[in-house]
Structure 1
Amino acid sequence: MSEDQSATTTAEMASTTHTTSKNTLKSYGRAFIHFIQSEPTVSLLAGGIAGALSRTAVSPMERVKVLYQVQGSSSSYNKGTMATVHQIFKEEGYKGLFRGNGINCIRIVPYTAVQYSVYQEMKKWLGTNEEGNLSVGNKLIAGSVCGLASVLVTYPMDLVKTRLSIQTAKSLALNKKSSTSSAGSATTRTTEPKKPMGMFKNVAHIYKYEGGFRALYRGLAPTSLGVAPYVALNFAIYEKLTELFPKEWRSNPMVTLSAGALSGGIGQTLIYPMDILRRRFQVATLSDGAMGFKYNSTWHALVTIVKVEGYKGLYKGWTANMWKIMPSMAVQWASYDFIKNTLQSL
C-alpha cells in the first residue's frame, strides 16, 4: 500500500471514529433530554428549584414567624414584624436574618420535589377529566398524600431548621432564666450566652441526648395534621383558581403569582394552629426544657396554649407568616410552572 493510500485510509478511519463519537454523544444527549423531560424528573427538578428560590426569598420572615411561635409568654419579640426584623439585624447582623435558611433549603428541595412529583403521580392514579384536571375531592386526596410523603422524607431537617431559627446571638434570648433547686429551696440562675450550634451539631445533639432516632421525629403528629390539609388546600385552591382562566392564560406569571399567593394564604390561615403545635413540640426539649413548654399530647398542647395564652396564642406569628407564605407560594408556583415549561420545551 502506498503512502497516499495509507494516509487516505487513516483519514477515513479517523473521520468514521469522529462521526461515531459524535453520533454517540448526540444519542446520549437525546437520552438525557428525554430523561429530563419525563414527568417524574421534571416535577422533581422544577419543584426542588422552586422550593429553594421561594424559601430563600422570604427567609427573614420565616425566622420572625418561628420566633413568635415559640416564645410562649415571653416578651422578647413583641414589637411587630418589621421591628423584630430590625432587632434581629441589630443583634446578629445580616446572617441572623438567614439563620436556618441553609438547612431549610436542604430540606425544602426534597420536600417540594417529593410534593410535586407525588401529586403528579396521584393525578395519574386517581384519573383526570378531558382537560387533565382532578375533581375537587381528588385534588384534596392527592394533596394530602403528597403532603404526608414530603413530611416523612424531610421531617428531621425541619426539626433542625426550627432549632437553628430560634438560636440567637444571645443564646436563647427568649428564655434566659430557668429554675433550679438548691438545698431544698428554689433559686433562679441566668444561663450564660453560648455560641449557637450548627446544623450537624444539632443533629448529633438531638440524637445523642434527646432520645435517639425517635427524637428526630418529635412533633411529627401535629406536623402531619397541619401539613396534609395545608398541602391539600394549597394544591386544590391553586388549581381551581387557575382553571377559572382560559388555558392559554394559565402559565401567565401574573396568574400563577396571584393564584399561588391566595392558595398559600388561605390554606395556611386555616391550619395555622397546627403549625404552632408543630414548632412547640420541636423545641420543647431544647436546653432541658428552658423554652417552658411541656406537653403530653397534641390535644394537651392545644388546650394548654388556649388556657395560658388565650385563643390568640394559636395564631401567634400569623402576621409574619402571611408576610412569608403569600410571597413564598407566589414565587414557588410561578417558578415551578416556568421551570417545568422550560424543561419540557428543550
Structure 2
Amino acid sequence: MSEVLAVIEQPNSIKDFIKQDSNIAFLAGGVAGAVSRTVVSPFERVKILQQVQSSTNSYNQGIFSSIRQVYHEEGIKGLFRGNGLNCVRIFPYSAVQFVVYEACKKKLFHVDDYGGQEQLTNTQRLFGGALCGGCSVVATYPLDLIKTRLSIQTANLNSLSRSKAKNISKPPGIWKLLSETYRLEGGLKGLYRGVWPTSLGVVPYVALNFAVYEQLREIGINTSDTQPSWKNNLYKLTIGAVSGGIAQTMTYPFDLLRRRFQVLAMGGYELGFRYTSVWDALVTIGKTEGFRGYYKGLSANLFKVVPSTAVSWLVYEVMRDSIRNW
C-alpha cells in the first residue's frame, strides 16, 4: 500500500523539485538561451567570419550580402553551422548565469526583487552579473571554442582557405575537433585557449546586461499590474534589446579578441594575424586595422545580440512565471 501511495505522490514530488528556485532558474535560463541563439544563428555565423578576417574582403560586403554569400556557398546548413553545438553550449551557459544571479540575490544580498518589495542596487546588480558571467565562461568555454572553429572551417576567408575548403569533403565534427584540440594543443590549455580575453569581454558584458535590464525593468514594475500581458511582454522585449545592445557595444573589442585567439592555432598567419598576448593584440589591431578594426563585425553582432537578448529575457521570465504558477 505504501508503494502505491509513493507512486501516486511521485508527480507532486517531481513537481516540487522542478519548482525549486534554483531548478526554475536553470530550466528557464537554459531554454531561453537555446531559443534565442537559434533565432539569430545566421547573424552569429557571419559575425564570427567577419571577426576572424584581417584585411580580406570576402565577408565585408554587408550583413545580408554576407548571409547570402554563405547561403550560396554552403546552403541552409551553412547559416546554422555550429548552432547545434551552440545550443548544447548555450543551455548550461545561460542556465548557469541565471542560477548564479538568482543565488546572489537571495543568498548573498537577501533580496527577492521579483516580489516587487525590494530591489538590488546597481552595484549589487553589476557584481552579481559579473560573477554569473565568470562562472558561465568557466563552465562552457571549451564548447564555445569548438563552436567558433566549426563556424569558420568551411568558410572562404582568403584564397588559401578557399583552396583548402574545396578539398574538405566532410569537415571534422564536434567530438573530433574536441579530441584533436585536446591532444594536439596541450590538453586543457588548448581547450581554454583565449579564455582570458573571453572573460575580459563576457564578465563586463553580462554585468551590464543584467544591470541595465533590471534597472529598466524596475521602472516598469509599478505599471505592470495594470497593463495587459502582451504590453508587458513587449516592454520586456524592448528593454532586453536595449540592455543587450548597450552592453555589447561597450565590450565588443574583447569579443573580437576572443574569436581571434580561439582560431590562432588553426592558422593565424594564413588569416593575417598572430598575437602573443591580449595587449599585443590590441596594439597590433590598432596599428594594422585602425580604430574600426576593434569593431569589425559589430553590425552583424548587434543584429544578433539585440533580438537574441530580447528573446532570452522574455522567454526566461515567461517560462519562470509559468513554472512558478504550475
Q: Given the two structures, how large is their TM-score scaled by the length of structure 2? A: 0.92
Following superposition, the deviation at residue 190 of structure 1 comes to 5.6
Which of 207, 230, 233 is the equivalent residue of 1:253? 233
Shift in CA distance, 176/114, structure 1 to aligned 2, threshold 3 Å = same
The answer on 1:318 being equivalent to 2:298 is yes
Q: 5+ residue gaps in structure 2?
A: none
Question: Following the alignment from structure 2 to structure 1, what is the Cα–Cα distance between the partners of residues 184 and 3?
Answer: 57
The answer on 1:205 being equivalent to 2:180 is yes
Match for 1:324: what amino acid?
A: K
Shift in CA distance, 253/321, structure 1 to aligned 2, threshold 3 Å = same
Aligned partner of 1:303 in structure 2 is: 283
Which of 234, 244, 248 is the equivalent residue of 1:268? 248
- Backbone CA RMSD of aligned residues: 1.8
The answer on 1:27 being equivalent to 2:2 is no
**Are the equivalent residues in 2 in contact too, given 1:249–1:255 (CA < 8 A)?**
no
Following superposition, the deviation at residue 292 of structure 1 comes to 2.7
Aligned partner of 1:75 in structure 2 is: 57
Following superposition, the deviation at residue 131 of structure 1 comes to 2.1
Q: Which is worse superposed, 62-71 or 196-205?
A: 196-205
**Are the equivalent residues in 1 in contact too, given 2:268–2:274 (CA < 8 A)?**
no
The answer on 1:167 being equivalent to 2:153 is yes
Question: Following the alignment from structure 1 to structure 2, what is the Cα–Cα distance between the partners of residues 286 and 242?
Answer: 43
Q: Secondary structure at the match of 1:206?
A: helix
**Are the equivalent residues in 2 in contact too, given 1:151–1:227 (CA < 8 A)?**
yes
Following superposition, the deviation at residue 21 of structure 1 comes to 5.6
Question: Following the alignment from structure 1 to structure 2, what is the Cα–Cα distance between the partners of residues 254 and 331?
Answer: 10
The answer on 1:60 being equivalent to 2:42 is yes
Aligned partner of 1:182 in structure 2 is: none
Question: Following the alignment from structure 1 to structure 2, what is the Cα–Cα distance between the partners of residues 91 and 202?
Answer: 22
The answer on 1:193 being equivalent to 2:167 is yes
Q: Secondary structure at the match of 1:285?
A: helix
Q: Which is worse superposed, 215-224 or 125-134?
A: 125-134
Q: 5+ residue gaps in structure 1?
A: 1-16, 179-188
Which of 62, 66, 72 is the equivalent residue of 1:84? 66
Q: Secondary structure at the match of 2:274?
A: coil
Following superposition, the deviation at residue 32 of structure 1 comes to 1.0
Question: Following the alignment from structure 2 to structure 1, what is the Cα–Cα distance between the partners of residues 16 and 85?
Answer: 31
Aligned partner of 1:9 in structure 2 is: none
Shift in CA distance, 137/291, structure 1 to aligned 2, threshold 3 Å = same
Which structure's CA Rg is the greater one?
Answer: 1
Match for 1:196: what amino acid?
A: P
% same residue: 49
Aligned partner of 2:93 in structure 1 is: 111
**Are the equivalent residues in 2 in contact too, given 1:127–1:134 (CA < 8 A)?**
no
More helix by proportion, 1 or 2?
Answer: 2
**Are the equivalent residues in 1 in contact too, given 2:97–2:135 (CA < 8 A)?**
yes
The answer on 1:215 being equivalent to 2:190 is yes
Match for 2:316: what amino acid?
A: Y
Following superposition, the deviation at residue 175 of structure 1 comes to 3.1
**Are the equivalent residues in 2 in contact too, given 1:283–1:291 (CA < 8 A)?**
no
Q: Given the two structures, how large is their TM-score scaled by the length of structure 1? A: 0.87
Following superposition, the deviation at residue 288 of structure 1 comes to 7.0
Match for 1:269: what amino acid?
A: T
Aligned partner of 2:139 in structure 1 is: 153
Following superposition, the deviation at residue 88 of structure 1 comes to 0.5
Question: Following the alignment from structure 2 to structure 1, what is the Cα–Cα distance between the partners of residues 4 and 118?
Answer: 39
Count, aligned residues:
315
The answer on 1:327 being equivalent to 2:307 is yes
Following superposition, the deviation at residue 289 of structure 1 comes to 4.2
Following superposition, the deviation at residue 207 of structure 1 comes to 1.3
Question: Following the alignment from structure 2 to structure 1, what is the Cα–Cα distance between the partners of residues 28 and 237?
Answer: 16
**Are the equivalent residues in 2 in contact too, given 1:72–1:292 (CA < 8 A)?**
yes
Question: Following the alignment from structure 1 to structure 2, what is the Cα–Cα distance between the partners of residues 211 and 282?
Answer: 14
Aligned partner of 1:7 in structure 2 is: none
Which of 224, 228, 251 is the equivalent residue of 2:203? 228
Question: Following the alignment from structure 1 to structure 2, what is the Cα–Cα distance between the partners of residues 103 and 190?
Answer: 26
Q: Secondary structure at the match of 1:246?
A: helix
Q: Secondary structure at the match of 1:117?
A: helix
Question: Following the alignment from structure 2 to structure 1, what is the Cα–Cα distance between the partners of residues 185 and 69?
Answer: 31
